[in-house]
Structure 1
Amino acid sequence: GNGTVEFAEFENFMLTSGVLNKIPDEMDENLRDAFKILDKNNDGYIDKEELIFYMTKFGDKMAVKDAEEMIEEADQNGDGRIDYKEYVRHMTGKL
């Protein structure tokens, strides 16, 4: 496409990549595994640098602006990063 990853494209990737397409009792484990992959420095949060790294690693260039928009969309407490609860809430629509 345009060389950047839109949030909808990221969500679609997460939903269709097999990361989240497991039976319900495995869902939490799969979400946690995906979160750990995104949380490159293991600080318990996903920040824009980690999103950019992850998406670039898989061949999609991501602009800082796009990463900031993705973080803002899922960031419930306004700290500029996504914790595990925010991640689960955003990916599943519940928690």
Structure 2
Amino acid sequence: MTLATLPSRLDTTAAHPLRAALLRTIDQGLPITLDGGEVREIGLACLQILFAARATAAERELGFAVCNPSPSLRKMATLAGLDEVWNVPIIGAEFP
């Protein structure tokens, strides 16, 4: 399992490096667990990247979880309407 902490700022500038890192890990065939506790700002682009990475991981039968979501991460997922449709532990999840 690959464990990584998401940065505090996930804005448009962070989108490309986030996507590249997630795809690299998925291409290596590794499950992903992300700690979202440090996220203070997240834009829609990075949220979409997280959702796309989750879908790609699922297609390859790899685990994908966002644990310890910060209030900002929870709020953005809720505002985007993704908290109810995303089938991974994110809202209220505890870090293992």
TM-score by length of 2: 0.31
> Which structure has the highest helix share of the two?
1
> Which structure has the highest strand share of the two?
2
